[in-house]
């Protein structure tokens, strides 16, 4: 099987609460992460959760990069769906620094119909 897409789920823990609550900072970090991965940015949308946190996504030509943050738990959930040649590791490295995370766990999934002949 040849995967049609790759979906990286990343969980950042031990993050700096103020960084995760900063709408402008999270937006900038996500755009920088998308650029660091070599992706072509189409548009983006970010907003504050109530009562805390930031949520949003960067729509890229190669798919999407989304984040949801919980400052009160020092936690951020990221997912990067990609269908082209992008360096998702570079994107995660940018976010880890920007969020001040002490740890990151990732799960790499392939997306596509099982048995797709490739």
Q: Which residues are catalytic?
A: 63, 68, 83
Find, among 75, 78, 71, the residue nearest to 106 by Cα. 78
Asked whether 27 and 20 are in contact (CB, 8 A), the reply is no
Are 8 and 80 within 8 A, CB to CB? yes
Alpha-carbon span 106 to 31, nearest angstrom: 20
Q: Is 68 in the site for its own copies (CB under 8 A)?
A: yes
Radius of gyration of the chain (CA): 14
83: contact with its own copies by CB under 8 A? yes
- The stretch near its own copies (CB under 8 A) out of 19-27, 31-39, 71-79, 90-98 is 71-79
| Binding positions for its own copies, 28-57, rule CB under 8 A | 42-43, 45, 47, 49-50, 55-57
Any idea what DSSP says for residue 116? -
Binding site for its own copies (CB under 8 A): 4-5, 7, 9, 11, 13, 42-43, 45, 47, 49-50, 55-57, 59, 61, 63-64, 66, 68, 70, 73-75, 77, 79, 81, 83, 105, 107, 109, 111-114, 116
């Amino acid at each position: 099987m040849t995967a049609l897409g790759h979906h990286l789920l990343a969980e950042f823990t031990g993050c700096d609460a103020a960084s995760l609550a900063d709408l402008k900072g999270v937006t900038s970090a996500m755009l920088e992460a998308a650029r660091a991965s070599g992706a072509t940015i189409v548009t983006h949308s970010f907003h504050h959760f109530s009562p805390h946190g930031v949520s949003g996504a960067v729509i890229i030509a190669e798919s999407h990069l989304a984040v949801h943050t919980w400052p009160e738990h020092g936690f951020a959930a990221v997912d990067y769906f990609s269908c082209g040649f992008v360096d998702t590791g570079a994107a995660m490295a940018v976010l880890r620094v920007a969020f001040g995370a002490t740890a990151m766990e990732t799960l790499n999934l392939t997306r596509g119909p099982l048995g797709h002949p490739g």
